Amino acid sequence: MSRLLPSPLMTVRAFHEAAHAVAAIELGMVEVMVRIGPDGSVSGVETDADISFACPALHDEPRSRTLQRRLIVILAGPEWELFAAVQSRRRQVLREQRSDCIAIVKVIRQLRNLCGMHGRALKRCIEDAWNEAASIRVLRNDQLMNIAAVLDASGALDDSELRSLFAQSA
C-alpha cells in the first residue's frame, strides 16, 4: 500500500520539487533537474528550491497540448502543497509560490497569444491541468515519495538520477 502522507522529517520543498519532477518525467519532459537550497530560480526570483526542464512537442501534438503539459508540471508542486495542506485554496498556495506563479502566467500568456485560447477554453485548460497534476500525484505517489526522500538528503538531482529513481519506484 502506498503512503499518501509524507514523513514529518522531510521538507515541504523536497516534496514540492519532487512533484514537479515526477510530473515532468511522466509527461515526457527532458533535461529535468531539481535542487533545494537558496539560489535564484530560472525566472530570476530568489527561491529555496527550483526545477528546470525542456518541454519538447510530442509527435503530432498541438501546441496547446505542449503548453498544457508544461503547465501541468508547473502546477504539480503547488498541487502537492494544496493536497498536503487540506484547508488551503489554490490562490493561497500560488501566492506563496512566486516563481511558480511567474511561470504559470508565462504559459497562460502563450496559450492566449500563440494558441488563441481565451475565456471558457482557457479556464477549462487550466482546470484540466490542475486535475491532471492531481492524478499524476495519486498515480505516481511511490515515485514522488522516493524522489523527495533522495532530494531532501542530496539537495539536487539531475535527469539521469531522477529517471533512475522514478524507474526504481515503478
pLDDT in tens, 97-147: 888 999 999 999 999 999 999 999 999 999 999 999 999 999 999 999 999
Domain CATH for 67: 1.20.58.760
pLDDT over threshold 50, residue 2: no
Does a structural domain hold residue 33? yes
Does a structural domain hold residue 154? yes
Does a structural domain hold residue 1? no
Does a structural domain hold residue 81? yes
Does a structural domain hold residue 29? yes
Structural domain that includes position 35 = 12-164
- Give the pLDDT confidence score for residue 69 in this predicted structure: 98
Domain count, the chain: 1
C-alpha to C-alpha distance for 61 and 72, rounded to whole angstroms: 16
Does a structural domain hold residue 2? no
Q: Can you state the angle between helices 98-115 and 63-84, rounded to 10 degrees?
A: 150
6: cell is 509524507
C-alpha to C-alpha distance for 89 and 82, rounded to whole angstroms: 7
